[in-house]
Structure 1
Amino acid sequence: MASLRVLGHAFRAWRRNRTWAKHEPETPYLADLLSGAPVCLHVGASDGRHSYVMTQVAPQARIYAFEPSAFAFEVLQTTVAWHRLGKQVTTIHAAVGDKPGEMLLVTPKKTSGRMGRAYAYVAETRPNGPARPDLDDTGMDVQPTPVITLDGYCETHGIGRVDFIRMDIEGAELRALMGAVAILDRDRPHVLLEIHPDMLKARFGASGEAVLDIFRDRGYRMFALNGDRLEERTTLVPGLPWKDYFFIHPSRAAKLPDGVFKARMAA
């Protein structure tokens, strides 16, 4: 039986979904990407709010939601059940990386005393000093988590096409994408990716540029919000610890739903 803490977090997510409240600013643009019966991978699913939006803008969507935190995974399962989305959303308790195995999930403890679950990330070993370089914390919780690759999961479960990937994994972006190159090469899925330059450098020995190269090498175009305006970019927005970016491949442009992305890709 779910704990009161899990039920409280799940109720907050359920209520916000039902009232369409406090979604990230990129969320409304999913309707301009998804139609028909898309297959979507939600990586770093947390309480499943993006999964919920996908089911609303594409009611026939099939969503695979990956979440490494044991606590957040319970919240995710509860939220999915309350929305009666079990036939559309498959939940997977795992982190995503470049090879299968096991890692540690590091969750910072905020100065307020609460756990910073939105800032949790995977690591090979327990960090020395602060949990993260980009925020103040007063300690951390560390728990083991299984790690899979998206390519491996899709092959094992017979997923022959992926249309969309949403990924928010606090600096592990490059590793996860390296474990999804077969999907990127085969399907050219649309991608909404939160990129964390500071975490990539400090905790993963990588960079935002290396993440962009994954998409540049495959001919993707990149878009980001500037205020309430969607603009095309070739570089990351400077000076930000993290930001969401859309990646769209020209080969998929003709089949986009009518909307801002289809118009921009035709320009």
Structure 2
Amino acid sequence: MVEGVTDAGVHRVALRVSPRLAGANPGLVKISPRWAATVQVRRQGVQLELDLRDNLQAVLYYAGRYEPAVRRFLRTELRRGDVVLDVGANIGIHALAAAQRLKELGGGRVIAFEPAADSVAKLEAGVARNDVRLEVVPMALGERRELASLKADSRYDEADAGVRSLYGDGEVVQEVPVVRLDDWAREHALDRLDVVKLDIEGAEIAALTGATRTLKRLQPRALLVEDKRSESSARLHAVLDECGYRPTGEVLDRNAVFRPELRE
């Protein structure tokens, strides 16, 4: 078994792949190869380098997919010329797929925010390996500009990049720069934004609070935001409501879809 892969982590990620998979085979990755922790594979149409110590990447390796409903949504939602923002891009599973889709459609732009250095390295390697246009921003989004501690989750191995958080309770993995999207958009003259995917392990409200001007100004037609329906869910919906967004009722792999409110 690859060191660092945990049953709890596999079960958590497997729920996002398929609830039936999680219930039927929570010990899926116990057959991990002993001879390599890193493998290069093609998954969901994308060439990736996967670290099998990471539960998300291990399940993607063995199950062959991760958040398939999100992938289908992006494939059908994207249009030629779109500007896509992936916040919490991890190793680029969705960002690379979006960039590939826009390439098929004739062009567009994908901007991926990811603060973890090891994930950024894999994401940048994925850009070269898949020959797509994708801008990697090695920063976190929040409600203020600062330097913050990216922490591991104490329930999982430090190599488990998918559960690292600014609010984690484990060891500090890395100090990362945090920026408000409103500031970044102004500094980089962002004048179009069509689709946003936001999944940053509990920091969604802070990121959206720092993005309200941009959302109101550019009015992306679709937001896909992780919503765990916890006590913070009402606050999340309130921030988006202030920006003129309403939930559509679609929930894709625990990510809620929001669209601008139609006005008379």
1:90 counterpart (128, 135, 144):
135
Residue 156 of structure 1 is matched in structure 2 by: 187
Q: Secondary structure at the match of 2:119?
A: helix
Aligned-partner Cα distance in 2 for 1:9–1:161: 37
Q: 1:31 to 1:102 in 2, by over 3 A?
A: same
Aligned-partner Cα distance in 1 for 2:261–2:109: 23
Q: 1:27 to 1:223 in 2, by over 3 A?
A: farther
Residue 38 of structure 1 is matched in structure 2 by: 82
2:212 counterpart (176, 181, 196):
181
2:110 counterpart (45, 63, 68):
63
Aligned-partner Cα distance in 2 for 1:177–1:11: 34
Q: Secondary structure at the match of 2:111?
A: strand
In the TM superposition, what whole-angstrom CA distance separates every residue of 1:205-244 from its partner, at most 9, and x where no partner exists? Answer: xx21111012223442313556xxx7xxxxxxxxxxx921
Contact 1:108 1:141 in 2 (8 A): no
Q: 1:130-149 counterparts in 2 under 5 A?
A: 131=169, 139-149=170-180
Q: Percent identity?
A: 28
Residue 100 of structure 1 is matched in structure 2 by: 145
Normalising by the residue count of structure 1, what TM-score does the alignment of the two structures yield? 0.69
Residue 249 of structure 1 is matched in structure 2 by: 260
1:54 counterpart (68, 86, 98):
98
Aligned-partner Cα distance in 2 for 1:154–1:244: 24
Superposed CA RMSD in Å reads 2.7
Aligned-partner Cα distance in 1 for 2:111–2:122: 15
Residue 168 of structure 1 is matched in structure 2 by: 199
2:128 counterpart (50, 64, 81):
81
Aligned-partner Cα distance in 1 for 2:39–2:179: 25
Residue 194 of structure 1 is matched in structure 2 by: 226
Q: Does 1:210 align with 2:235?
A: yes
Q: Secondary structure at the match of 2:166?
A: strand
Q: Secondary structure at the match of 1:75?
A: helix
In the TM superposition, what whole-angstrom CA distance separates every residue of 1:72-117 from its partner, at most 9, and x where no partner exists? Answer: 11111111111112xx201011111011111000122555x56321
Contact 2:46 2:96 in 1 (8 A): no
Q: Does 1:23 align with 2:76?
A: no
Aligned-partner Cα distance in 2 for 1:245–1:147: 24
**Residue segments in structure 1 that go unaligned for 5+ positions in a row:** 1-6, 132-138, 202-206, 231-241, 253-267
Amino acid at match of 1:89: L
In the TM superposition, what whole-angstrom CA distance separates every residue of 1:7-41 from its partner, at most 9, and x where no partner exists? Answer: 965724xx114369403122201133220211111
Q: Secondary structure at the match of 2:202?
A: coil
Q: 1:192 to 1:41 in 2, by over 3 A?
A: same
Matched residue count: 207
Deviation of the 1:119 alpha carbon: 0.7
Runs of 4+ that moved beyond 4 A: 7-10
Contact 1:151 1:179 in 2 (8 A): yes
Amino acid at match of 1:34: L
Deviation of the 1:195 alpha carbon: 2.3
Amino acid at match of 2:140: A
Normalising by the residue count of structure 2, what TM-score does the alignment of the two structures yield? 0.70
Which range is displaced more, 216-225 or 179-188?
216-225
Contact 1:171 1:197 in 2 (8 A): no
**Residue segments in structure 2 that go unaligned for 5+ positions in a row:** 1-35, 48-63
